[in-house]
Structure 1
Amino acid sequence: MPKVSELFFKTAIVFLILGIAAGLQMAISGDHSAFPAHAHINLLGWVTSAIFGGYYALNPQKAARRIAMIHYWLYTAGVVIMLPALYVMLQGNPAIEPVVAGGSLIVAAAVLIFAFVVFSPETARSVSGVPSPSR
C-alpha cells in the first residue's frame, strides 16, 4: 500500500476515535451544542480521510507523486486546526471563529489539490502496457 494511503487511513482512525469521544461527551453531559463539530470530525476526519486513502491505494502512480504527500499534510493540518476550534466555538466561544475560518481555508486548498491529482493524467505507460516507474 502506498505510504500516503496508509497515512490517510491511520489518520482517519484517529479522527474516528475522536469523533466517537466527542459524541460520548455530548451524550454523557446532555449538552449537544457541539453536534456540528462532532459531525465534521466524523465526515472530514474519518470519512473523507479514508476516501482519500482508498483513492491513493487504487491509484499508486498518483500516490507516488510528491503532490499526494503535500495533499496529506495540508489537509491534515487544516482539519487539525479547524475541528478543535469549531468545537470550542460551538461551546460558546465565538472569538475563535477566525481560527475556524483559517482551518477551513486550508482544508479547501487541500481539496483543490486533491481535485488536481484526480483530474491530472496518470504517468506515461510503456509500450508493453506496464506503467513506467513513478517520478
Structure 2
Amino acid sequence: MGKTFIKIAAVYFSIGVLLGMTMGIIHDFRLTSLHAHVNLLGWVSTALFGVIYSIYAFAAKTKLAKTHFWLHNIGLPVMMIGLFCESFGITAGVPIMIVGSLAVVIGTIMFTINIFKALNTNSIQRANKDLHA
C-alpha cells in the first residue's frame, strides 16, 4: 500500500506543477485554491502516507489503512471537482466539494487512529518478532 500511495502522489505532483505552470502562462489564477489542495493533499499528504506505510508495513495491512486508502483516493478527486466548479462560480460544486472533503477528513482521522493503534510499543514488538521469526 505504501508504494501505491507514493505512485498516486507522483501523479498529483505532476498535476499540481502543470496546473501552476498553466495558471502562470495564462495569467488566470482562479484555480489557486485547487492548485494548493492538489499539492498539499494530493502530493505531500499522499506521499507521506506512502512513506509511513512503507516504513511501518504492518500498519498498512489493517482494515483502517485500507479504508483510509479508499476514502482518500475517492474523496480527494471528488473534492477537487467540486473545488474546480466553485472556482468558476458553479454553485453545484459546493455540495460535491463537501462530500469529497468529508471523505478525506474521515479517511485522515482513520489514518491517525491507525497510526496510534499500530505504533504502540506492543504492536512494534509483535511486528519485530514476526520479521525475525
- Using the size of structure 2 for normalisation, the TM-score is 0.87
2:115 equivalent in structure 1: 118
**Per-residue deviation at 1:130?**
3.5
The count of aligned residue pairs is: 128
Separation in structure 2 between the aligned mates of residue 29 and residue 40 of structure 1, nearest angstrom? 20
Q: Which of these residues, 24, 40, 49, is aligned with residue 27 of structure 1?
A: 24
RMSD: 1.8
**Per-residue deviation at 1:17?**
1.0
Q: Which of these residues, 91, 97, 105, is aligned with residue 102 of structure 2?
A: 105
Separation in structure 2 between the aligned mates of residue 121 and residue 33 of structure 1, nearest angstrom? 41
Q: Which of these residues, 6, 10, 21, is aligned with residue 13 of structure 1?
A: 10
Give structure 1 stretches of 5+ with no counterpart. none
2:88 equivalent in structure 1: 91
**Per-residue deviation at 1:124?**
7.1
Separation in structure 2 between the aligned mates of residue 92 and residue 28 of structure 1, nearest angstrom? 22
Q: Is the 8 A contact 1:79 1:107 kept in 2?
A: yes
Q: By percentage of residues, which structure has more helix?
A: 2
2:130 equivalent in structure 1: 132
2:79 equivalent in structure 1: 82
Separation in structure 1 between the aligned mates of residue 88 and residue 19 of structure 2, nearest angstrom? 12
**Per-residue deviation at 1:24?**
1.9
Paired letter, 2:130: S
More off after superposition, 51-60 vs 40-49: 51-60
Gap change, CA 1:115 and 1:23, over 3 Å in 2: same
Q: Which of these residues, 13, 27, 43, is aligned with residue 46 of structure 1?
A: 43
Separation in structure 2 between the aligned mates of residue 28 and residue 93 of structure 1, nearest angstrom? 24
Give structure 2 stretches of 5+ with no counterpart. none
- Using the size of structure 1 for normalisation, the TM-score is 0.86
Separation in structure 1 between the aligned mates of residue 7 and residue 85 of structure 2, nearest angstrom? 25
Q: Is the 8 A contact 1:124 1:132 kept in 2?
A: no
Separation in structure 1 between the aligned mates of residue 97 and residue 20 of structure 2, nearest angstrom? 20
Q: Could you list the structure 1 runs, at least 4 aligned residues long, displaced by more than 4 angstroms after superposition.
A: none
